[in-house]
Chains A and B, each alone.
Chain A
Amino acid sequence: MSAPGQATGEQSGAHTQPVPDSPGTRSVGAASRLDAVGGEGQGGRGRLRAAAGTGTVGSGGGLSAGRRGLWSRLDLYGSPYLFIAPFFVLFTAFGLFPLVYTAWVSLRAWDLTGDAGFVGLDNYSRLLADPDFWNALVNTLGLFVLATVPQLLLALIVAALLNRPIRALLLFRLGVLAPIVTSVAAVAIVFGQLYGRDTGLVNGILGLIGIDPIDWQASRTSSWIAVASMVNWRWTGYNALIYLAAIQAIPRDLYEAAQIDGAGAIRQFRSITVPLIRPALIFTVVMSTIGGMQLFTEPLLFGQGDVSGGSLRQFQTIAMYMFEQSFQNFDYGYGSAIAWMIFLLTVIVGVANALIGRRLRGGTQ
């Protein structure tokens, strides 16, 4: 709770002293009071309790008639369901139903000509024997590693630096966050030009130090590096801010005690900071996993909108393969089977990451 917040609380507390007569206006008063505090809890606790007290005094005559009682009972017990209903209705229609329906469609031979009936697990067995699927799987996992590991390590370093007493803090924070407000398509277009073979800035700079131009799209390694750099660029600052928040929640005296024990900055970082921000680490790893398994836009636009991801499919991800099968070959059944594989993959990689995270805990304690 910041000092300015408390000050505001004090002021607004002062001008709400005279309690109005009618219950209705009193609620409005309470509302504007909370608004002034900005909803930031504790500063105003005592005052709010006082408001609650006066409320009890004023309410005696209100709920007498039986019909009104029924009405308010209905309101009391029914309203919560009414409030959450829109979410569940819309989510069921456009979120849950499509998911379940995907499973159903994936068990059928269904293309542009229509639904040709139930085929059991045929789509899945075809998938397992499909070299293009395995290629896309390898690409997705490879890109995930290249895009996530440097991203999270860099974010950790930037967060540690931003936590030091430095000038122009807001400038640096805003600066590292700037990439996140850029749309994925924008990132892909700018980086696509930077990595251009003939006119790209990256090859231009490499040329200055005597390296021949690289055809970034041509090989698997170079295209992976290019695509991964887009993801790294876009998300590093975001993760750094998440780590920074976690670091700032660590009690200062832990560091002071470590300092007295003669632990250096690096040692403190390894033995205090990293273990204590583990929840934030796990959160970012899980988010990166979900994003990484669905990688689509960056490689698509890197290859000028070609869903096959290069002439040899060298950077086609699973999401791109799903899109190709569903919306270019109109093989809905097969596309749905691929969609389920993406889900399965997300779960497997997510669980694997969680297990690794647990191992880390065992190691540090």
Chain B
Amino acid sequence: MRRQPLVYLTLLVSLILSVFPLYWLFVVATRSNDVIGDMPPPLLPGGNLGENIQRLFGPEAEEAHFARGMLNSAIASIAVTVSVVFFSSLAGFAFAKLRFRGRSALLLAVLATMMVPVQMGIVPLYMVMVKLGWQNQLQAVIVPFLVSAFGVFLMRQYAERAVPDELIEAARLDGCTTFGLFLRVVSPALRPGAAVLGLFTFMGTWNEFLWPLAVLDADNPTVQFSLSQLATQYYTDYTLMFTGTLIAIVPLLLVFVLFGRQLISGIMDGAVRS
């Protein structure tokens, strides 16, 4: 017990280190440019947030196409999340609870694909997009990501524990078709796992950077692309950059505030299982 103050001190320092950059982001976004670089630094928020937001969406920062970026990212993230959650649950359930020929080999294939960094296929993926005429089209950042090997694996692990075999047998004997079984019996049981997968998928898609940069143009960006435009075109205008960054992480902060506990248990759960 003697060491308890030291424990709190260390944790408090980690907490401050973790949160300070986010707080600093907020402080700068609410200030004007002339206080940047002041020593001692401004540690309290100022009153310029409204004005900065207006500048962000106004003609001054039009090359960043920020509103367009937010909208594109919202559409892409929601579409990808819904699709990944649905197809992962379906395949995860099949792998966990249905018997079929070649099941373990196919599952191994899913696992192997998890190890491959998909990022390194971006050159040919780009060529595929050129063939399809999808350059600078929003579907280019949606369609390739509609399924996820990680999602299938996660939902398979979850279904293994969450869906009792007895329940499936019972429903089968009741004359339930396999898809009916999935809809009425399995998917309610998978809901907590699917929620965690959905949260991570949404955050991942919202944060995707390299691929949108490769396949989209600056006039039709995702939000992260817009941010990089802000950071390169307006890199001396710190308050503008920081305001954009703040707005861009609002959906993530919302997810964090509303579902923080689920995220924690999702991370901790996944780790024990894998």
Contact = CB atoms under 8 A, between A and B. Distances in A.
Interface stretch (A143-151, A252-260, A296-304): A296-304
A90 B41 contact: no
B106 A175 contact: no
Contacts of B41: 201, 204
Nearest to B175: A62
B18 A178 contact: yes
Interface stretch (A29-37, A268-276, A352-360): A29-37
A245 B271 contact: yes
A245 B272 contact: yes
A192 interface: yes
A177 B264 contact: yes
Interface stretch (B44-52, B60-68, B184-192): B184-192
A67 interface: no
A241 to B, nearest CB: 5
Interface string B154-186: 000010011110110111011111111110110
Interface in A177-224: 177-179, 181-194, 196, 198-201, 204, 207-208
B91 A84 contact: yes
B interface bracket (residues with beta carbon within 8 Å of A): 35 or more
Nearest to B241: A189
Nearest to A318: B120
Interface string B12-36: 0011011101101100100000001
B263 interface: yes
A70 to B, nearest CB: 13
Given A84-B94, A96-B113, A245-B271, A343 B7 contact: no
Interface string A307-324: 000000000000100110
Contact of B231 (A56, A189, A322): A189
Interface in B258-274: 260-261, 263-264, 267-269, 271-272, 274
A68 to B, nearest CB: 9
Contacts of A15: none
19 contacts: A23-B175, A34-B189, A38-B192, A58-B174, A84-B94, A90-B144, A91-B147, A91-B149, A105-B124, A154-B14, A185-B209, A186-B249, A193-B28, A293-B117, A304-B232, A305-B232, A319-B210, A326-B123, A326-B214
